[in-house]
Amino acid sequence: MGGKKEKKLWGGRFSEGSSSVTEKISSSIQYDSRLYRQDIRGSVAHARMLNRIGILNDGELAAIVKGLGEIMREIEAGSFEFKTSREDIHMNIEAVLTERIGDAGRKLHTARSRNDQVALDVRLYIRDEAGEIEELLKRLVSMIAGLAEKNAEAILPGYTHMQVAQPVRLSHHLLAYAWQLLRDMKRLAAARDAAMSLPLGSGALAGLNYPTDREFLREELGFTGIVPNSMDAVSDRDFVLDFLYFAAVLGTHLSRFCEELVLWSTSEFAYIRLADGVTTGSSIMPQKRNPDVAELIRGKSGRLLGNLVSLFTLLKGLPMTYNRDMQEDKEPLFDSVDTVKLSLEGMIEMLTGITFNAGRMKEAVYRNFSTATDLADYLARKGVPFRNSHEIVGSIVRHCEQTGADFFSMDAKALREFSPVFEDDIADVLNPEKSTERKLSPGGTSRAEVMKQIEAIRKLV
């Protein structure tokens, strides 16, 4: 209490109020106000349940539901006053409700603790956000499938060790990213599943001195199950870890994708051009067009991993059950939600305006012996043991390097210097554009296999 200070909702046993540093450390309202919708949804369901078990009469229930509805509208309109001294979203809402409707508001917290309340809010929040993030992921994956279809004929070097390896279709390369993102969608769904059990009705930790109807709450709030142990219910944050893990892996994927966009937009590669809207200039070098959006998405993946590590570190030493440390789960979670959404929006925008320079890619594929493996396979098909054919083609490559001969236009006569097995059908084998169609294996870079992938991906999103 103390002085002009408002009495805390938990203030009964205290004769002095919190110090201002304590209030500052305790307060989470600066960030957890964003849980207002989930908090109100939970409180309405809880009030209905209390009405069913005879703790609230119909008039009290109606006053609570109406009061919470008004508070929701005010928060949305920006006219609700949040107070640091009221610590968190739960107490800010309850205090104002009580100011307005009196005793009915004071009854709302019967058979509930902030411990099961916050566990509920965060689960609802993750469920809500997962829906939005899934939509963004689907859009991004569909866009990649669209680009793959539109650019089915473009080929470029595939790389290993960042060295030219074999020709691949641009569409095949792009679809590799789509598959990563599809796995991310599975991880997201797993995180959402982990949040699908109802913690409310557990009380502070031990259960409640009331015959709470948890099945009613489950139904009302759209959960698929009920957390079976009240102590686990208030101390579990695995579903947040699961979400942060999803976000960290997604971040890693986007970062790799962006690294490639950065590389491909250099004048040395020039495989792509990013639209003006997603590039920025330099304050000193007038010619610059920097791929900042790609760089920042790459950079932001660091926070996504950091947030996961933060929460692991926060949780690992905690005894049963709720510990106040757990309030610190929210900022990493909120930051990862925001970062994931913004990064996905940035990816969508970059891919919307991207143009591919198929000419540059083709030039690159005609350098660096990209079809040397095809040539070795040609010999192998004609009966030369692969290890020998590898050796033979290696010496052809060495010869070209030493003499400056053009590998891609060597004729059968020149090649017979290295092996008598070469015949006149060799020109097609050296041709990088024909190389992709020779990939017979399922999942390879041939047109037919790429089209199968596009179809499969479209079905999944």
CB atoms within 10 A of CB 232: 17
Give yes or no for a contact between 314 and 328, defined as CB atoms under 8 angstroms apart: yes
Interface residue with ligand ARG, options 233, 297, 326, 375 (CB under 6 A): 326
212 binds ligand ARG (CB under 6 A): no
Residues 71-130 that bind ligand ARG (CB under 6 A): 88, 114-115, 118
The nearest distance, CB 121 to ligand ARG, in angstroms, is 8
Closer to ligand ARG at the Cβ: 295 or 328?
A: 328
Distance CA 192, CA 385 (A): 53
For 2, other C-beta atoms within 10 Å of its C-beta total 12
**Residue at 246: amino acid letter:** F
Beta-bridge partner residues of 158? 166
In whole angstroms, the minimum distance from the beta carbon of 39 to ligand ARG comes to 10
Contact window for ligand ARG (CB under 6 A) among 150-158, 173-181, 318-326, 366-374:
318-326
Q: Compute the least distance from the CB of residue 327 to ligand ARG, in Å.
A: 4
| Active-site option among 15, 19, 142, 282 | 282
28 or 431: CB nearest ligand ARG = 28
Round to whole Å and give the CA distance between 342 and 98: 38
Q: Is 200 helix (H, G, I), strand (E, B) or coil?
A: coil
> Residue 161 catalytic?
yes
Q: CA 254, CA 296: separation in Å to the nearest integer? A: 11
The least CB distance from residue 133 to ligand ARG, in Å, is 22
Radius of gyration of the chain (CA): 31
Please state, in angstroms and rounded to a whole number, the distance separating the CA atoms of residues 46 and 108.
8
Residue closer to ligand ARG (CB basis): 118 or 340: 118
Minimum CB–partner distance for residue 322 and ligand ARG (Å): 6
Q: Which of 188, 174, 210, 72 is nearest to 134 (CA)?
A: 188
Cis peptide before 321 (omega within 30 of 0): yes
Q: Residues touching ligand ARG: how many (CB under 6 A)?
A: 9
Least spacing, CB of residue 93 vs ligand ARG, in Å: 12
Distance set, CA 326 to CA 25, 312, 320, 329, 346 (Å): 13, 11, 12, 5, 31
- Does 230 participate in binding ligand ARG (rule CB under 6 A)? no
Told to check if 327 binds ligand ARG by CB under 6 A, we report yes
Residue 333 beta carbon to ligand ARG: minimum distance, rounded to whole angstroms: 11
Looking at the Cβ atoms of 28 and 307, the one nearer to ligand ARG is: 28
Which one among 7, 66, 183, 324 touches ligand ARG, defined by CB under 6 A? 324
Q: How far is the CB of 230 from ligand ARG (least distance, A)?
A: 14
Pairing outcome for strands 163-169 and 155-160: antiparallel
Nearer to ligand ARG, 8 or 298 (CB): 8
What is d(CA 254, CA 260) in angstroms, rounded to the nearest whole number?
10
CA distance 64 to 417: 92
Q: Binding marks (x or -) toward ligand ARG, 346..385, rule CB under 6 A?
A: ----------------------------------------
Spatial distance between the Cα atoms of 244 and 237, rounded to a whole number of angstroms: 11
**282 is known as an active-site residue:** yes
Q: Which of 43, 79, 85, 161 is catalytic?
A: 161
- For the residues of 48-104, what is the DSSP string, one character each? HHHHHTTSS-HHHHHHHHHHHHHHHHHHHHT-----GGG-SHHHHHHHHHHHHHTHH
The only residue of 8, 17, 28, 120 in contact with ligand ARG, by rule CB under 6 A: 28
- Residues carrying an active site annotation: 161, 282
Rule CB under 6 A: which residues touch ligand ARG?
28, 88, 114-115, 118, 322, 324, 326-327
